[in-house]
Structure 1
Amino acid sequence: MPNRSEQFAPAAFARIPVEGLLAAAVLLVLPRRPRAVAAALAGLVLGVVTVLDLLDMGFNSYLGRGFNVILDWPLLGDAESYVADTIGGTSARLATVALVVLVGVLLALMALAVVRIGGLIGRHPTRSTRVLLLCSTVWMTCSALDVQISGVPVASDHTVEMVRSREQAVRATIRDERAFAKEAKADVFGATPPEQLVPDLRGKDMIFTFIESYGRSAIEDPVTAPGVDSTLDANTQALAEAGFHAKSGWLTSATYGGNSWLGHSTFLSGLWIDNQSRYRTVTAGDHLSLTKVFEKTGAWDTVGVMPGVQKGWPEQKFYGLQKVYDAFHLGYRGPKFSWSTMPDQYALERFQQVEHGRKRDKPLMSELILTSSHQPWAPIPKLVGWDELGDGRIFGPMAKAGNDPKDIITDSQRSKEEYGKSIEYSVTSLVQWLQRYGTDDTVLVFLGDHQPIARVSGNHASRDVPVSIVAKDPKVLEKIAGWNWTDGLRPAHDAPVWKMNAFRDRFLTAYGSVPHPSGS
């Protein structure tokens, strides 16, 4: 069985598997009882490989990569939570039970099927030998001549290769864990004295904002681009009228389709965090995150607004956030919008009320994670008057009248359309907030954390996301003139593309930080 959904075709099931021929040969020479035991074990192994192929299929569809047998088991729990948050806890529990039953049935039936084949071979050894020799001859001939059906080789060693590749992936994962632990200890700015960190941003209110699933596809896909591009252009003009200007480029995210925290940590740590093991390693250490830089100086108050965080979040220390407002600390009394616990507009307004609008002795450094553009993009909130937000109950009728997530999930075209609308909503909310509350000293850095899932961005989409820096003070953007970014909120197609982990060091250098390496 293929391990990618786009490879499903009749030709994929017309192959002769070499592992089947080898297994038949072993069963042919074994006595009856050992044959039954070997057949059952072979069936269980084949069942496990099939389950892993199915996991590969799901992970490729949602995260653009295969399933890692060492690192990815905890993500299955996250998947259940996502389903529960999207379509309800009861549906999620029923789906989980159904999947567990299906896996058990699959393993049992696979084992029974191979035992049955072993019994047939044992009862008809002469005929089985002839058939095995014939199939082996056909396999070798097709292999030698590279015979294919619709581009798929008839002589297959797919399962053998899959087992081999998984074994190699396990070895690579173990090696990577060891190597990355050493890499994370080294930091170009790790020993930089506080007074030599971002001196050119002193006195500025810094805001680092991630927009969920805001990827290159939003700006360039034929379905989403017209609406998103016109929104970006209109907001660029609106910012200019308010005295703000922007420059934009592209960053290649360490993740795709999900696992947003990997994108956040890559951007802020300056390290390539593309799996959970790396994430645990870096967030448990003392590597200097971009947001923690501002705390280390002692010249800023630091705060996080995380409406997507719904449980304990020990990473707060790594990110240098003195205070964090999660889903339960923003006073929201309105409905959820699918996975998103509250509309971005509400989260931004509450940020203004509880932190940004307060009088303080120091400027503020904030990390905001906006969630309204999280899949499945149904229902999507609409902008309301900023003075009408209250405690969020105004959104009640809007959520009830919105699309049902189940209708959007099953329709790729509608998923694209609604995804585009969600990006328009999130960007416009952020820009309107900046117009309303930004000052001469406000500096906003905002970007996407990753591309949307393959159902929207395509099976071979890039990992690029837009990134923008917005400010009133012309000196802020003059510092990055050498980056050759595009003026405005919409990066040009050929604007520079950096790996996401490159941003931290470039940003710190641009604003006057002096390198003092540590841990090397």
Structure 2
Amino acid sequence: MPVFTRLRQPQETPAPENPAPAPEEPTNTPTHHLRIPWPLILTTLSAALVLASLLLPNSVAALRLNRFTRIPGEAIIGAAILLALPRRPRTVLAAVMGTTLGALTVLNLLDMGFRAYLGRGFNLVLDWSLLDDAQTYMADSMGGTTATLAAIAAVALVVLLLLATALATVRLAQVLAAHKQSASKATLIAGTVWITCTTLGLQLAGMPIASDRAVSALTIQARRVQDTLRDEAAFAKEAKEDTFGATPGAQLVPDLRGKDVVFAFIESYGRSAIEDDIMAPGVGRTLDTRTAALEKAGYRAKSGWLTSSTYGGSSWLGHSTFLSGLWIDNQQRYRTVTSGDHLTLTKAFQKTGAWDTVGIMPGVQKAWPEADFHGLDKVYNAFQLGYEGPKFSWSTMPDQYALEAFQRLVNSKKRDKPLMSEIILTSSHQPWAPIPKLVDWDDLGDGSLFTPIQKAGKNPQDIVSDTTKSREEYGKSIEYSVTALTQWLERYGTKDTVLVFLGDHQPIARVSGNNASRDVPVSIVAKDPEVLDNITAWNWTDGLKPAPDAPVWKMDTFRDRFLKAYGSTPHPATN
């Protein structure tokens, strides 16, 4: 019989009726793992950065959500090109595209800053030097450490932005290549939608759905460069033509012979100071009060408006426009005119040989070769006025002290000729904190008494960060400067003193308001009634406060109007 071997099956052990509880797992052992989809997150962030860069506007006022709900045509074209390339050329081109997009974003951010502060966009050819001026201003206003840290942060941000946009574009190019078939279909659909939206003019949230913002931004920058280069040659020729360039000295301003003439610029004294709801009440009272005080002292005044060539800053552009009779609205024009021999209003007095000419420049802290252009025999800079007190943010000294130093060093001296003076007052320069206070003129001394006033003043950082406070303090600074200047005239002026004073530009948009005009007040004050009789035809307002409907002239027209009003004979010069 065959022998069968029975394989024995393992017997199941019956479960006990009261099983012992299983040992608990250690509490530090996770029961599950959360898997973070890093590739998806990285791709999403890359797409967001690229789209934001493509759609970013170039002004703060335009930073609204509806600007970023559009379809950028540049992204569609870029995707189509990258999909058609092999791996290596695709990667290289994507990196170049991303770096270019990062650079365009930097330019858009610079445009935002320049529009907010100077009322215009950034100029690739001319404006790099202004960045150094901005750091100097910040160091004077906020301290050297803050300025250095801000500069380091700005450079780091630029480098990071260029690198991030390059890496983001490369990442998106890799994703497109990995899903080539579906990406090609999506690109075709997006292109069709973009063309349809463009053709029909479809909008979403008040903005066209189809966008070409990046191409437009590049076009704007290219046009600025082209216009700047073209303007350079045209202006060089314009600067050589001068209505009074060949006028003999004997035929310049004969009606002012024997007069001590002062041309004074008040920093940032703009139309907004007189008409804005916050600043106007205080500034208006000051102008009315000072008009009455001057009339009591025997002076009369007439005032009008000039449209400045600059806005928010770059005061030297306004100064040179007013004095030269040429429209100086950029650094290249300024360099061209100041390096030539164009006749300025102040140089006209020097050319007569009948006046001594002097400049009081408390804002000048380095070599200033423009003195020849201004026609000044002697210039007193910030270090030559004897001031030993503290700075007030950017301003090296209070206006009251600068005017007293002018009186002590120059105006009180005996001389054989009358004096023509150009004075730049700086106490109303932003950030408008701390602001000096008027003290007794007899107590000014070397300015040391301003130390406790400066220490008790407001912190500029608190003012800069608050729009309402900035407007309030700006108005107070204008009140201070106008009062200091007119008190000086009331105290030291004579029957032969003629004061011409004006603002060089409006304050920044945060103070003057978006879309504010570029108008600034201008006044002429004198005791001799004939001085103001000569400008009766100008129809200016009596007093220091120009009426809202007073004449508005471009600032570059003032020189010729003034020279003609006081008897100058035109003799054009062309070279």
Shared fold by TM > 0.5? Answer: yes
2:374 is paired with a residue of what secondary structure?
coil
Residue 167 in structure 1 maps to residue 212 in structure 2:
no
2:455 is paired with a residue of what secondary structure?
helix
Distance 2:513 2:460 in 1: 20
Further displaced range: 72-81 or 147-156: 147-156
Q: Please point out which of 180, 183, 208 is paired with 1:125.
A: 180
Distance 1:96 1:149 in 2: 39
Q: Percent identity?
A: 67
2:525 is paired with a residue of what secondary structure?
strand
Deviations along 1:429-457, whole A, 9 cap, x unmatched?
A: 00000000000000000000000000000
> Which amino acid is the alignment partner of residue 378 of structure 1?
A
What does residue 117 of structure 2 align with? 62
What does residue 225 of structure 1 align with? 280
Distance 2:64 2:229 in 1: 35
Residue 426 in structure 1 maps to residue 474 in structure 2:
no
Distance 1:146 1:410 in 2: 40
- Per the TM alignment, residue 150 of structure 1 is displaced from its structure 2 partner at its CA by 2.7
What does residue 479 of structure 1 align with? 534
Deviations along 1:112-153, whole A, 9 cap, x unmatched?
A: 000001111111110101111121122122222222233221
Distance 2:146 2:262 in 1: 38
Distance 2:203 2:357 in 1: 61
2:246 is paired with a residue of what secondary structure?
coil
Further displaced range: 93-102 or 34-43: 93-102
Distance 2:473 2:193 in 1: 51
State which structure, 1 or 2, has the greater radius of gyration over its C-alpha atoms: 2
What does residue 366 of structure 1 align with? 421
Distance 2:298 2:353 in 1: 29
2:502 is paired with a residue of what secondary structure?
strand
1:374 is paired with a residue of what secondary structure?
coil
Distance 1:104 1:508 in 2: 53
Deviations along 1:265-310, whole A, 9 cap, x unmatched?
A: 0000000000000000000000000000011100000000000011
Residue 435 in structure 1 maps to residue 435 in structure 2:
no
What does residue 216 of structure 1 align with? 271
What does residue 200 of structure 2 align with? 145
Distance 2:454 2:61 in 1: 34
> Which amino acid is the alignment partner of residue 17 of structure 1?
P
Residue 283 in structure 1 maps to residue 338 in structure 2:
yes
What does residue 44 of structure 1 align with? 99
What does residue 19 of structure 1 align with? 74
Distance 1:29 1:375 in 2: 54
Deviations along 1:181-235, whole A, 9 cap, x unmatched?
A: 0000011101101100000000000000000000000000000000000100000
> Which amino acid is the alignment partner of residue 158 of structure 1?
R
Deviations along 1:320-352, whole A, 9 cap, x unmatched?
A: 101111111111111111110000000000000
> Which amino acid is the alignment partner of residue 200 of structure 2?
L
What does residue 553 of structure 2 align with? 498
> Which amino acid is the alignment partner of residue 73 of structure 1?
W
1:318 is paired with a residue of what secondary structure?
helix
What does residue 379 of structure 2 align with? 324
1:312-351 mapped onto 2 (5 Å cutoff): 312-351=367-406
What does residue 411 of structure 1 align with? 466
> Which amino acid is the alignment partner of residue 367 of structure 2?
G
What does residue 107 of structure 1 align with? 162
Which has the higher relative contact order, 1 or 2, with Cα contacts under 8 A spaced 6 or more apart?
1
> Which amino acid is the alignment partner of residue 260 of structure 1?
S
> Which amino acid is the alignment partner of residue 136 of structure 1?
G
Extract unaligned runs of 5+ from structure 1: none
1:247 is paired with a residue of what secondary structure?
strand
> Which amino acid is the alignment partner of residue 339 of structure 2?
A
Q: Please point out which of 158, 167, 179 is paired with 2:234.
A: 179
- Per the TM alignment, residue 166 of structure 1 is displaced from its structure 2 partner at its CA by 1.3
Distance 2:231 2:173 in 1: 42
1:162 is paired with a residue of what secondary structure?
helix
- Per the TM alignment, residue 170 of structure 1 is displaced from its structure 2 partner at its CA by 1.1
1:250 is paired with a residue of what secondary structure?
strand
> Which amino acid is the alignment partner of residue 60 of structure 1?
R
What does residue 245 of structure 1 align with? 300
Distance 2:267 2:109 in 1: 27
1:314 is paired with a residue of what secondary structure?
coil
Distance 1:56 1:173 in 2: 16
TM-score by length of 2: 0.90
What does residue 394 of structure 1 align with? 449
Distance 2:521 2:233 in 1: 32
Distance 2:76 2:301 in 1: 63
Further displaced range: 242-251 or 6-15: 6-15
Extract unaligned runs of 5+ from structure 2: 1-55
What does residue 411 of structure 2 align with? 356
Deviations along 1:24-46, whole A, 9 cap, x unmatched?
A: 11001000000000000000100
Deviations along 1:479-519, whole A, 9 cap, x unmatched?
A: 00000000000000000000000000000000000001111
Distance 1:400 1:324 in 2: 30
Distance 1:103 1:149 in 2: 32
1:331 is paired with a residue of what secondary structure?
coil
Aligned length in residues: 520
Distance 1:142 1:176 in 2: 38
TM-score by length of 1: 0.99
- Per the TM alignment, residue 425 of structure 1 is displaced from its structure 2 partner at its CA by 0.2
> Which amino acid is the alignment partner of residue 314 of structure 1?
P
Further displaced range: 430-439 or 10-19: 10-19
> Which amino acid is the alignment partner of residue 307 of structure 2?
T
Residue 296 in structure 1 maps to residue 351 in structure 2:
yes
1:70-81 mapped onto 2 (5 Å cutoff): 70-81=125-136
> Which amino acid is the alignment partner of residue 441 of structure 2?
W
Distance 1:148 1:413 in 2: 36
Distance 1:168 1:352 in 2: 49
Distance 2:189 2:334 in 1: 52
Runs of 4+ in structure 1 displaced over 6 angstroms? none
1:494 is paired with a residue of what secondary structure?
coil
